[in-house]
Amino acid sequence: MKAFAQKPDVDLSIEFAGIRSPNPFWLASAPPTDKAYNVERAFEAGWGGVVWKTLGEDPAAVNVSSRYSAHFGKNREVLGFNNIELITDRSLATNLREITEVKKRWPDRALIVSLMVPCVEESWQAILPRVEATGADGIELNLGCPHGMPERGMGAAVGQNPDLIEQVTRWCKQYYSKPVIVKLTPNITDIRVAAQAALRGGADAVSLINTINSITSIDLDNMVAKPTVGSQSTHGGYCGAAVKPIAMNMVAEIARDPETQGLPICGIGGISNWRDAAEFAALGAGAMQVCTAAMLHGFRIVEEMQDGLARWMAEKGYRSLAEFSGKAVVNTTDWKYLDMNFQTIAHIDQDKCIQCGRCYIACEDTSHQSIAKLIDASGARRYEVIEEECVGCNLCQITCPVEDCISMVPQPSDKPYMSWNEDPRNPFRESVTATN
């Protein structure tokens, strides 16, 4: 990326669903936002907002030990993070008092309160005025917690039921005057149905994704999953870098759905750096929540996130997040509308190739046998693409360890755009065309 001698002249501040924030980076509802001490340290580090760890009715939830596990890469890099922690285990009065104090001391930061209470109107009617009295900027309905709480009729048990999503959202809009954000569970068949239900209930915005049901690993000596509580375990909530592709797809589905277009989206799921944030924004997110990256690297990572995003925006000529938010949505479509006449072919840059043969092995064993392994008289190897056999699948490019060594080259064509609906190879083409 281009280097700048001084801070780029861009404005990272946002207004999301009526909530102002000096930058789009918010800490998600989780252990990092469980108390005033953590939240104030986060604000000092530069976070634009926080979603306070989920509050519930008294008596407070009781957690187990241990609570976390991880899915590791080969160098012990944490690819995915799993937790079986419940909502706050501190009293409601303590949390409300600290929220009030923090908001007074940090009036320019977004402070959202995550809530989860039983799915009865009286419970919401009782807690909402107490939350509003704190001065917090809005609430986030935790309708997605995948473990512990669903057994009690809360969390994902509500988020997987569109009627309950709509009903709870409506209650909150009735008894609370500030913005209501509905946090959606990914443990569902079609995320659009949940978003539509939230919108019908009057939601000001949605946030997604909550964590994914998971078991990360097994202790093969004791035959029990991790995290282990005594001699047992359970499924937990999966988050971190590994869930980012799932989260981005769900954000895009809501952003391009005609029924929910324009509904503000707060992106959550594997956001670890400025580029992740920019990608979520391009798919329609107006704010971003971060958790796992902060838990692994500390609150100061927000400095790099802000700096990197600002520099990239300046390089591209964007002065605010709103100028590119949603720009990739128009280019995201269903498979049946892709251009069947478009073709791309792999090209190997021989000057960069280290002759490792990974592209050849992958293509020969598992793809289309379109890379030739050539050996000259001296025994030196060389790999070349057999263009007439290449289908442009990208596998060779993905397996290549050298950046930009293999590129995918679009092929010139005089054929017009043709979708699968129009393709004569489609056995249902006539009936599809007749119904459109």
What CATH class is the domain 14-331? alpha beta
Q: Cβ distance 202 to 135 under 8 Å?
A: no
Rounded Cα gap, residues 192 and 259, in angstroms = 9
* Residues with a known catalytic role: 145
Strands (E), 187-252: 205-208, 212-214, 218-219, 224-225, 236-239
Position 172, amino acid? C
The answer to whether 251 and 286 have CB atoms below 8 angstroms apart is no
pLDDT in tens, the chain (436 residues): 444 445 678 999 999 999 999 999 999 999 999 999 999 999 999 999 999 999 999 999 998 999 999 999 999 999 999 999 989 999 999 999 999 999 999 999 999 999 999 999 999 999 999 999 999 999 999 998 877 676 777 778 899 999 999 999 999 999 999 999 999 999 999 999 999 999 999 999 999 999 999 999 999 999 999 999 999 999 999 999 999 999 999 999 999 999 999 999 999 999 999 999 999 999 999 999 999 999 999 999 999 999 999 999 999 999 999 999 999 999 999 999 999 999 999 999 999 999 999 999 999 999 999 999 999 999 899 999 999 999 999 999 999 999 999 999 999 999 999 999 999 999 988 655 444 4
Dihedrals phi, psi of 190, to nearest 5 degrees: -135, 110
* Phi, psi for 47 (deg, rounded to 5): -65, 140
- pLDDT at position 5: 43
CA–chain centroid gap for 152, Å, is: 26
CATH 3.40.50.300 correct for 335-431: no
- Three-state DSSP string of 147-180: CCCHHHCCCHHHHCCHHHHHHHHHHHHHHCCCCE
C-alpha 426/C-alpha 417 separation (Å) is: 15
- pLDDT at residue number 9: 86
What distance in Å separates the CA atoms of residue 344 and residue 410, rounded to the nearest whole number? 4
CB-based burial of residue 377 (10 Å sphere; 0-12 exposed, 13-18 middle, 19+ buried)?
Answer: exposed
CA distances (Å), origin 262, targets 201, 249, 254, 257, 325: 16, 17, 9, 9, 11
The answer to whether 290 touches 25, Cβ cutoff 8 Å, is yes
Neighbours of 18 (CB within 10 A): 12
Q: What pLDDT is attached to residue 430?
A: 63
Which class for 371: exposed (0-12), middle (13-18), buried (19 or more C-beta within 10 A)?
A: buried
- Kind and range of the H or E run holding 183: strand 180-183
Q: Helices in 208-257 by DSSP H: which ranges?
A: 244-256
Give me the pLDDT at residue 157, please. Answer: 85
- Quote the CA–CA distance of 215 and 194 in Å, as a whole number: 25
What residue ranges do the domains of the chain occupy? 14-331, 335-431
Tokens of 218: 């097994």
| Burial group, residue 68, by CB count within 10 angstroms (0-12, 13-18, 19+) | middle
> Quick one: which H or E segment has residue 407?
strand 406-410
pLDDT for 154 equals 73
